Every structure is written in structure tokens, then in C-alpha cells.
């Protein structure tokens, strides 16, 4: 047995059981494998089989459940997540609500459930519990049920029979509906119950073979990981969950960032917005997206609500995917990455972190402890994503671009691509060709030719090498047209497309 000794902040032992609330009832769970997923536990241990396994990789949404916490002001926050890739240890101190936990007294159905019935939103019914839970979470958060965001609310749920229209209509019908009194009462009770189980104790659960550590402060986390660099750091588990469910990998020790107090913050310094390891995509999106709408649009496409609610920015960088959508955008903004080993920290430009396919500049015992996004740049910052499916598909080509203009000349250009090489990579020859050129479309058209000098992309199922080169060139041109004021329709905007032909 090879478990991690963790010493709590007070020097006491770690707690060896989890406490969380399931459909209103407090649970105490011990002696459980660290890699046990919530979905498996619900279905096998609790006989709650309403949540379905459709893919076991966080794509289809059939296992969607709501995770409820209280925020600093004591209000409830609701997140929909894919239970198939949530590890049990990640539930410490939370409330979980499954489709079985929605209805009111005398089995009265919840308004979200009723709406799906009334609008004929189910056919085979297998995806339906997931849709119910996505609608329910949006309903509880009091946003996400409007015409402009209902598609985003439901983008993480796949349906194959009904077609999405009746489901969307069911969602839209809920936007003005009132919460029944029994639901308001239930939420008040939930708030109190959550307070009761609130703690800052570190926890470690294990079945003797696979352990899952839940440290609560930064020192504990750093020490533990530095002592046991072979253990696996888990943040949102949107990737690591698949190591278990798909690759059957045996992860004997996992350490979770999610409850480390210092890790869940977005710090704001004068020059930087700092995203710490446990900050989810959703949280980062709300912060950065309000500043740069272009990255907001990108985020919606690369992760469903459920994935954004679980996955983290730092995790997305640490896993080093060559087509990860965030790195090109963050590199274009001039972001830095911070790595920590015990108490030793170093910072480097994000693009230098990616060395080659599958290899990052991360030493043994080091972890990604933050991303520093420059605060002040970026009026000309844009992201573009090309993929076969609009929502939640891996990019064929992804471009993040930023430039500075003084008077009428381009004085600085940062253009970074995903999907064009083994790592996210800057198009240095294109950048050079733009430098000191007049800020007009012709400069971009000329510079775009240099894509061929910068990249020698692969041919794979997402696109041929020729397609990728051509598409990358076109994106550079599009960027130029867009910045210099030509009208370039945004195909992602339904209204714009409809209005093109009136």
C-alpha cells in the first residue's frame, strides 16, 4: 500500500471519510477507491440509476447532475457536471442533486420536468434525465433559459431521437416561471445543511489500493506533491477522468487542487489577472470574457457548461494538448505560466512551456500554480476556431491573434496557432511580415503567405495539411479585414446569418 501521508494545517490527522449531501441527505463515505466515479457510485452503490452512462467521457451529458455549494456570501451556487468523470473525493463539502432528487412533496414533478413533458421533449428518454438536470441547474442559477443562451445551456447534452427543438422550447418556457414554495423552502434547508458540513479539514479516502487526497491549503499541497511527484494532480478531471474510464489506467495516488483555499481564486494585480489551479473554465470565462468577448465565444465552443464547470484553465495547460484551444488565445495575450516546486517558483512565457508534442517544460515535483494574463493589452485581440462540429469539437485550426498599432503602422504582432504543429506555436514569420507594415488589409494578405514558412501541419481526420495551411492563411486575412473595418459576417451568430438575406 502506497498512500500519501498528509498532515493537516493544525498538525492533526487527515479525515478518512467524505461528507457531502446527496438529494438532501448527508452522506459519510469511507473505504472507497480514489478513482471511483460519482456516476458509478450513484448507480451501483445507491441504486440511483436515473443518471445514465452514454459515453463515460463527459461528452453526451446523460449523466448530468447538479453540484451545489455556498459562496462567500452564503448564497447557493449551482453547477451542472458530468458525473461520469467526477471522482468521489471531489464532493467533499458539497451537495449533489440527481434527477431523482428534484420532485416536490407527494412526488410533484419539478417545473423543469413538467416542461419537458408538456413540450414533448423526450422520445427514447435515455438522454432526458441529463437534459432535465441541465435545465434545472440553469433554472436554479436564474440564468441560461433565455433565447440567447439556451443553446449554450444545452450544448453539453446530446439527443439522437427527438431533435432539439422541443427541448429548447421546453427550456424557453421556463424563463418566467416561478419557483414553487417547496423548492424555496428546500433550498433554505440545503443552505443550513451545507453550513453544517462545512470544514477546512484535509481528507484522504482510500480503499487500500487507490487513494484520493483533498488538501485544503497551499503548503500541504506543495509539500505532499513534492514528496510524491509520481502521484497525479487532479483539478477538474475532465481529462484524467478519461484515463480511468477509457484507458483503464491505475492511478494509485491522486491529489486534488479543488479544495486548496489559495487555488480557487482569480487574483487581480495591477498588470495581471492571475488564474490559480482550481479556477474552472466557467469562472475564468466570466472574468476574462467580460473583458474580451472574443474569448468568451471561444470558451463556449470548446467546452460545454458541464465541462467548463469542472475543467480548469491550469489543467488545460498542464496536459499539453497540441490542439488545446486556450493556449493560442492566452499566448496571443502574452500570458505567463507559473510553476511551483515546494516553495520555489518560476515564471516563463506560456509558449515556452510547450516544448514538443507530449512534452512540457515541467520538472518532476513541479506543478502549474498559475497563469498570468496581462491586464492591459488586447483591444485588437481575437480568437478564431475551425472545427467540423460547431460545439465542443477538437479544432482543426485555432488562431489567437493580437497586435498593437501606432499611428497607421503595426508595431507589434502576436499570432499563435493550435492544430498546426505538435504544440501551440507562434507564426513568427507571419508576425515579422506584419511588423512596421501599414495597418490595412493588404498587409495581412501579404503576410498570410508566410504561413507556409511557419508550419508544416499534419493530415488527420480533422483536416488535411493543405486545408490547414489554407485555412490558417485565410484566418490571418480575416483578422486583417475585421480589424481594419471590413464587414466580415460572424457565422456563429445566428441573427447575423439570418439577416444576411432579408
Partner 1 sequence: MKDTDGSAKEGIVHKAIRHDSAHKHVSGAAKYVDDIAVPPNTLEILLGQSKFAHAKILSMDLSQVENFPGVIKVLTAADIPGTNDCSPFAGDDPIFAENVVSYLGQSVFAVVAEDIKTARNAIELAEIKYEELPAVINIDQALETGNVLGPPAVIECGKVDQALAKSKNKLEGKIILGGQEHFYLEGQAAFAIAGEDTDIVVHCSTQHPTEIQHKVAMALGLSNHDVTVITRRMGGGFGGKESQGNLPAIVAALAAKLTGRPAKLIYDRDDDFILTGKRHDFQISYKVGFEDNGLINSVIVDQAMRCGMSWDLSEAIAARAMCHAENSYFIKNMRITSHRLKTNTQSNTAFRGFGGPQGIVGMERVIDHVAHHLNVDPLLVRERNFYPHKTSATHGITPYGQTVHDCIIQDIISELKKTSDYADRRKDIEKFNKNSEFFKTRDFSYSCKVWDFLQCKLFKPSRCTATCLQ
Return the residue of 62, 284, 331, 420 that touches partner 1, per CB under 8 A. 62
Closest distance of CB 423 from partner 1, Å: 27
**Distant-in-sequence, close-in-space partners of 394: CB < 8 Å, separation ≥ 6:** 323, 387, 462
109 binds partner 1 (CB under 8 A): yes
Residue 23 and residue 50 in contact, taking contact as beta carbons nearer than 8 Å: no
Q: Which of residues 153-172 bind partner 1 (CB under 8 A)?
A: 158-161
- Would you call 275 helix, strand, or coil by DSSP? strand
484 binds partner 1 (CB under 8 A): no
99 binds partner 1 (CB under 8 A): yes
113 binds partner 1 (CB under 8 A): yes
E strand or H helix at 22: strand 17-22
124 binds partner 1 (CB under 8 A): yes
Q: Which x/- pattern over 377-416 shows residues binding partner 1 (rule: CB under 8 A)?
A: ----------------------------------------
Number of residues counted as binding partner 1 (CB under 8 A):
50
25 binds partner 1 (CB under 8 A): no
Taken as a whole, the chain contains a residue count of 502
Q: Which region, left, alpha or beta, applies to residue 93 given φ > 0 means left and ψ of -120 to 50 means alpha?
A: left
Considering beta carbons, is residue 99 or 421 the nearer one to partner 1?
A: 99
Binding range to partner 1, per CB under 8 A, among 127-135, 277-285, 292-300, 407-415: 127-135
Q: What gap in Å lies between CA 302 and CA 243, rounded to an integer? A: 20
Q: Which region, left, alpha or beta, applies to residue 392 given φ > 0 means left and ψ of -120 to 50 means alpha?
A: left
500 binds partner 1 (CB under 8 A): yes
Q: What gap in Å lies between CA 66 and CA 86, rounded to an integer? A: 12
Q: What gap in Å lies between CA 109 and CA 336, rounded to an integer? A: 49
Closest distance of CB 170 from partner 1, Å: 10
Closest distance of CB 200 from partner 1, Å: 33
Work out the widest C-alpha separation in the chain, in whole angstroms: 72
Closest distance of CB 132 from partner 1, Å: 5
421 binds partner 1 (CB under 8 A): no
358 binds partner 1 (CB under 8 A): no
489 binds partner 1 (CB under 8 A): yes
Residue 83 and residue 103 in contact, taking contact as beta carbons nearer than 8 Å: no
501 binds partner 1 (CB under 8 A): yes
Closest distance of CB 122 from partner 1, Å: 4
Return the residue of 103, 141, 223, 428 that touches partner 1, per CB under 8 A. 103
282, three cell numbers = 466557467
Return the residue of 125, 229, 349, 358 that touches partner 1, per CB under 8 A. 125
Q: For 189, how many CA atoms within 13 A lie in the half-sphere containing its CB?
A: 11
Smallest Cα–Cα separation from 200: which of 216, 212, 186, 178? 216
Closest distance of CB 209 from partner 1, Å: 11
Considering beta carbons, is residue 4 or 62 the nearer one to partner 1?
A: 62
Residue 331 and residue 414 in contact, taking contact as beta carbons nearer than 8 Å: yes
Binding range to partner 1, per CB under 8 A, among 121-129, 178-186, 324-332, 359-367: 121-129
**Continuous H helices in 125-172:** 128-141, 150-154, 165-172
- Burial class from Cβ neighbours inside 10 Å (0-12, 13-18, 19+) for residue 291 reads middle
51, three cell numbers = 443518471
Considering beta carbons, is residue 99 or 403 the nearer one to partner 1?
A: 99
Q: What gap in Å lies between CA 116 and CA 153, rounded to an integer? A: 15
Residue 333 and residue 378 in contact, taking contact as beta carbons nearer than 8 Å: yes
Q: What gap in Å lies between CA 406 and CA 203, rounded to an integer? A: 55
Closest distance of CB 412 from partner 1, Å: 26
129 binds partner 1 (CB under 8 A): yes
Residue 136 and residue 112 in contact, taking contact as beta carbons nearer than 8 Å: yes
Q: Which of residues 28-57 bind partner 1 (CB under 8 A)?
A: 43, 47-57
455, three cell numbers = 508550419
Considering beta carbons, is residue 244 or 430 the nearer one to partner 1?
A: 244
Return the residue of 6, 60, 85, 339 that touches partner 1, per CB under 8 A. 60
Binding site for partner 1 (CB under 8 A): 43, 47-57, 60, 62, 98-100, 102-103, 109, 112-114, 116-118, 120, 122-129, 132, 158-161, 246, 248, 478, 481, 486, 488-489, 500-502
Amino acid at each position: 500500500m502506497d498512500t500519501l501521508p498528509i498532515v493537516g494545517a493544525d498538525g492533526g490527522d487527515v479525515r478518512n471519510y467524505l461528507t457531502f449531501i446527496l438529494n438532501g441527505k448527508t452522506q459519510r463515505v469511507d473505504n472507497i477507491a480514489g478513482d471511483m466515479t460519482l456516476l458509478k457510485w450513484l448507480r451501483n452503490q445507491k441504486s440511483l440509476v436515473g443518471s445514465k452512462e452514454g459515453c463515460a467521457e463527459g461528452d453526451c451529458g446523460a449523466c448530468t447532475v447538479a453540484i451545489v455549494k455556498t459562496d462567500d456570501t452564503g448564497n447557493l451556487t449551482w453547477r451542472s457536471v458530468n458525473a461520469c468523470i467526477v471522482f468521489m473525493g471531489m464532493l467533499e463539502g458539497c451537495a449533489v442533486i440527481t434527477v431523482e432528487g428534484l420532485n416536490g412533496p407527494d412526488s410533484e414533478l419539478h417545473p423543469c420536468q413538467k416542461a419537458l413533458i408538456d413540450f414533448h421533449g423526450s422520445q427514447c428518454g435515455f438522454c432526458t434525465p441529463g437534459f432535465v438536470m441541465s435545465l434545472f441547474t440553469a433554472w436554479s442559477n436564474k440564468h441560461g433559459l433565455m433565447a440567447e443562451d439556451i443553446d449554450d445551456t444545452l450544448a453539453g447534452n446530446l439527443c439522437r431521437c427527438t431533435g432539439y427543438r422541443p427541448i429548447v422550447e421546453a427550456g424557453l418556457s421556463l424563463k418566467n416561471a416561478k419557483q414553487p414554495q417547496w423548492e424555496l423552502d428546500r433550498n433554505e434547508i440545503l443552505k443550513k445543511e451545507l453550513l453544517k458540513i462545512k470544514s477546512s479539514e484535509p481528507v484522504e479516502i482510500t480503499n487500500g489500493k487507490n487513494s484520493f487526497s483533498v488538501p485544503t491549503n497551499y503548503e500541504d499541497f506543495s509539500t505532499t506533491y513534492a514528496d510524491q511527484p509520481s502521484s497525479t494532480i487532479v483539478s477538474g478531471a475532465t481529462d484524467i477522468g478519461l484515463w480511468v474510464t477509457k484507458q483503464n489506467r491505475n492511478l494509485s495516488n491522486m491529489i486534488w487542487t479543488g479544495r486548496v483555499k489559495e487555488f480557487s481564486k482569480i487574483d487581480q494585480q495591477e498588470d495581471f489577472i492571475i488564474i490559480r489551479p482550481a479556477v474552472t473554465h466557467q469562472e475564468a470565462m466570466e472574468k476574462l470574457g467580460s473583458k474580451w468577448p472574443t474569448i468568451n465565444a471561444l470558451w463556449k465552443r470548446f467546452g460545454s457548461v458541464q465541462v467548463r464547470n469542472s475543467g480548469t484553465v491550469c489543467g488545460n495547460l498542464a496536459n499539453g494538448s497540441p490542439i488545446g484551444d486556450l493556449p493560442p488565445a492566452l499566448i496571443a495575450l502574452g500570458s505567463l505560466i507559473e510553476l511551483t516546486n515546494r516553495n520555489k517558483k518560476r515564471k516563463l512565457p506560456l509558449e515556452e512551456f510547450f516544448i514538443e508534442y507530449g512534452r512540457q517544460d515541467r520538472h518532476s515535483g513541479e506543478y502549474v500554480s498559475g497563469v498570468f494574463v496581462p491586464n492591459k493589452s488586447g483591444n485588437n485581440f481575437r480568437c478564431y476556431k475551425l472545427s467540423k462540429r460547431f460545439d465542443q469539437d477538437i479544432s482543426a485550426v485555432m488562431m489567437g491573434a493580437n497586435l498593437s498599432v501606432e499611428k497607421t503602422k503595426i508595431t507589434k504582432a502576436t499570432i499563435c496557432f493550435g492544430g498546426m504543429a505538435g504544440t501551440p506555436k507562434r507564426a513568427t514569420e507571419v508576425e515579422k511580415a506584419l511588423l512596421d507594415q501599414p495597418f490595412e488589409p493588404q498587409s495581412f494578405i501579404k503576410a498570410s503567405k508566410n504561413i507556409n514558412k511557419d508550419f508544416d501541419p499534419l493530415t488527420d481526420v480533422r483536416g488535411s495539411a493543405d486545408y490547414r495551411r489554407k485555412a490558417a492563411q485565410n484566418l490571418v486575412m480575416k483578422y486583417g479585414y475585421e480589424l481594419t473595418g471590413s464587414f466580415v459576417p460572424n457565422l456563429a451568430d445566428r441573427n447575423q446569418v439570418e439577416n444576411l438575406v432579408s
